[in-house]
Amino acid sequence: MKKILLIILPILLFAGTIPAITAAEILSKVDENMIAKTTKSTARMIVETRRATRTMSTVSYAKGNDIAYTEYTAPAREKGTKMLKIKDDLWLYDPSTDRVIQISGNMLKQSVMGSDLSYEDFMDEVELAKTYTATLQEDTVYDERSCYVLSLAAKTDNLAYSKRVIYVDKERLVPLYQELYAKSGKKLKTMRMSKVTKIKQRWYPMQVVFKDELKSGSGTTMIIDEVSFDIKIPDYYFSKAILRK
Amino acid sequence: MFLFVLKGLLRDRSRSFFPVLIVSAGVLVTVFLIAFMSGYLESMVRQNARFDTGHLKIVTNAYAEKLSQKPYDLGFIDSEAEFEQWKQDFPSVRWTPRIYFGALMDVPDAEGNTLEQGDVFGMAIDLWDPSAVQDIHLSEALVQGRIPQAPGEILLSEELFSKLKLELESTVTLLGSTLYGAMSFQNYIISGTVSFGVHALDRGGIVTDIKDARLFLDMEGGASEYFGFLPSGIYDDGEAQEIKREFNAKYNDEDDFAPVMLALTDQNDMGFMLRYAGFALGLITVIFILIISIVLWNAGLLNSIRRYGEFGLRLALGEHKGHLYRWLIIESLAIGVVGSLIGAALGIGVIQYFHVHGVNFAAFTQDTSMMVENVVYTTLELKNLLLGIIPGLVSTVLGAMLAGIGIFHRNTAKLFKELET
């Protein structure tokens, strides 16, 4: 009996201190939820400025996390504007001028359609587990959900945000809140995810509020009306030919 | 008596040559510095008024909060009726609308894909108003091509035009944001190139008609700023402040988009710059007086040693110490007058040269956003000459007063004893 106790007791004692899941595993689970082989979504982007509130509608197609195509469908002024991202390149197409314009350099830091998102944010949809080293912090409760708190440090220098703090829903393993930091340590943006919905096997936030912390205003709300994963999308949707089509 | 003293000084050149040389050089330097600074300030005020501040400017409250960022999205829209009312209220001031905006200029290849790109700073004026065209000296700034004559034409900075290896009459696309933040694209034809001599603008500026800019930025009937120019064409802060007070009392309230008038000195730290320049001019004068006084004090002491016997003899013959002291001061005044006149004459020559040819500052203004012309011309004004001459006179008199104090330390009873040696 003593021998059995000697074996079981240390296991019981250490069981309280060893986390059930590691930071890297949490990140991998988050990526599994957020990134699919292919994604099609229709969404609305609501931009609030001092002057007015505008709503834009989009249809987006994505392959993995580094190829994406978006077409603006409303309002009239933006209708037909297209955006194509292939790895590190980003192109815009404007139907009124029939021009395909590549976005690079300083322009990547500019706001997209007056929103709190920059073109760089579109370029920066990275696989977190591959690009950041995660450290688990003290758990917290956010939006009435028990969350892991992860501090992420970029593995390379070429990322738009060198540090992130991310609250991950313990049960559904989706991020509910993110803080994005510059290399200097300055907080640049925050993201608040909500309306987490189960779509097939994955949990997905259907509403995200982006807030540029360097700008006044209440932020930009992205509402995903419909989303489907791992569907067949023709290859030409992810080529420059789609822009003038 | 003054002429008698002057004759003595001219005949004994060892007494006058060195002090006259010093005073002349000092006055020359001071007169030139004052004329240069004055020219620099005038250039700064002129350029700021032309391109950035006007003598007066009407913007919205929200725009005024972020004035240096030129946030056209916080500018006026549908404000033509109000603008007409303001013109009627202040008929002596000449008003003109402007829009400043930033955009990406994209040069297409034969297939309409991006070939070259550059960030541009847009300045939209009413190109059909000859006064507005003259305000920014557009005809003089035109390097090649022509001023836009039809909608959809722009002028591009010569520097960017050469850098991107463009051709006149070629089409470029501007990509920017509308007043409401939406993406905006517009094709333009480059009708000509400009160089304003202001590096901040020449780096990557475009000039377009305000109607084209309104279309591009979705600012129907609007403007980001309304510039006002005083009737004399020269900035008068008192007059500008009075108009500003009257306008703001009538039209300004707490609404974000209510109009607010600003004077030139309320913008770009111009008020501080002009006050600081006045202080700097005063400081130059005081430093000049101090340095020249110390040098002349030293020269006076050396002179006193050389004229030790002369002063002793004159005191021994009964000349009063005070009379001798006053004599020295009159001598110094004569030196001051001669030195200052020579310095001022030389100064006029130097100032005149730089008044015509200017001082090229282009190499120093390459990385600044300051609104100063690349070539600064000295101003040739009587007050600037006087500002140099007066310290020349003061310093010589002050130097002599300090050096002459030694006279009062001579003991009259010992004079003959001293003279024996």
Q: Which pLDDT tens digit goes with each residue over B51-74?
A: 999 999 999 999 999 998 899 999
Q: Which residue range is the domain that position A59 belongs to? A: 21-242
Most confident region among A3-12, A188-197, A210-219 by mean pLDDT: A188-197
Residues of chain B short of pLDDT 50, as ranges, are none
Q: Please count the CA atoms within 13 angstroms of the CA of B136 that sit on its side-chain side.
A: 30
Q: Which pLDDT tens digit goes with each residue over A56-99?
A: 999 999 998 889 999 999 998 889 999 999 988 899 999 999 99
Interface touch A49/B175, C-beta < 8 Å? no
Q: Is A190 exposed, middle or buried (0-12, 13-18, 19+ CB in 10 A)?
A: middle
Q: Kindly state whether A138 is in contact with chain B, defined as any CB-CB distance less than 8 angstroms.
A: no
**Residue A73 within any structural domain of the chain:** yes
Closest partner residue to A51 (CB to CB) among B106, B112, B180 is: B180
DSSP-based three-state secondary structure for A242: helix
A191 Cα to chain B: minimum distance (Å): 20
Closest chain B CA to residue A101: B114
Angle between helices B2-11 and B13-48 (to 10 degrees): 110
B47 Cα to chain A: minimum distance (Å): 28
**Residue A12 within any structural domain of the chain:** no
pTM of the model: 0.75
Closest chain A CA to residue B72: A51
Q: Kindly state whether A81 is in contact with chain B, defined as any CB-CB distance less than 8 angstroms.
A: yes
The CATH number given to whatever domain includes residue A65 is 2.50.20.10
**Residue A166 within any structural domain of the chain:** yes
Q: How far apart are CA A224 and CA A42, in angstroms?
A: 6
Instruction: Give residues with Cβ within 8 angstroms of B400, minimum separation 6.
Output: B296, B300, B328, B329, B331, B332
**Residue A175 within any structural domain of the chain:** yes
Pairs of residues, one from chain A and one from chain B, whose beta carbons lie less than 8 Å apart: 77
Residues of B in contact with A101 (CB under 8 A): 104, 106, 114, 117, 173, 175, 185
In a mutational test of the B interface, the residue from A101, A109, A215, A216 whose CB has the highest number of chain B CBs within 10 Å is A101
Q: What is the DSSP secondary structure assignment for residue B421, as one 8-state letter?
A: -
B210 Cα to chain A: minimum distance (Å): 20
Q: How far apart are CA B325 and CA B310, in angstroms?
A: 13
Q: Which pLDDT tens digit goes with each residue over A144-192?
A: 999 999 999 999 888 889 999 999 999 999 999 999 999 999 999 999 9
Q: How far apart are CA B23 and CA B45, in angstroms?
A: 32
In a mutational test of the A interface, the residue from B73, B114, B179 whose CB has the highest number of chain A CBs within 10 Å is B114
Interface touch A50/B119, C-beta < 8 Å? no
pLDDT tier, A123 (very low <50, low <70, confident <90, very high otherwise): low
Total of domains in chain A: 1
**Residue A84 within any structural domain of the chain:** yes
Interface touch B180/A104, C-beta < 8 Å? no
Q: Could you tell me the two tokens for A210?
A: 């982006």
Amino acid at site B238: G
Residues of B in contact with A106 (CB under 8 A): 119
Q: Kindly state whether A76 is in contact with chain B, defined as any CB-CB distance less than 8 angstroms.
A: no
Q: Identify the pLDDT of residue A12.
A: 45
Interface touch B185/A99, C-beta < 8 Å? yes
Q: Identify the pLDDT of residue A41.
A: 95
**What DSSP element (H or E) covers A176?**
strand A175-181
Quote ipTM for the complex: 0.77
Interface touch A100/B114, C-beta < 8 Å? yes
Alpha helices of B12-109 — where are they, by DSSP H?
A: 13-48, 61-65, 80-89
Closest chain B CA to residue A115: B181
Q: How far apart are CA B351 and CA A38, in angstroms?
A: 74
Interface touch B185/A96, C-beta < 8 Å? yes
Residue given tokens 């949707």 in the structure block: A237
pLDDT tier, A15 (very low <50, low <70, confident <90, very high otherwise): very low
- CA B164 to chain CA centroid, Å, is 33
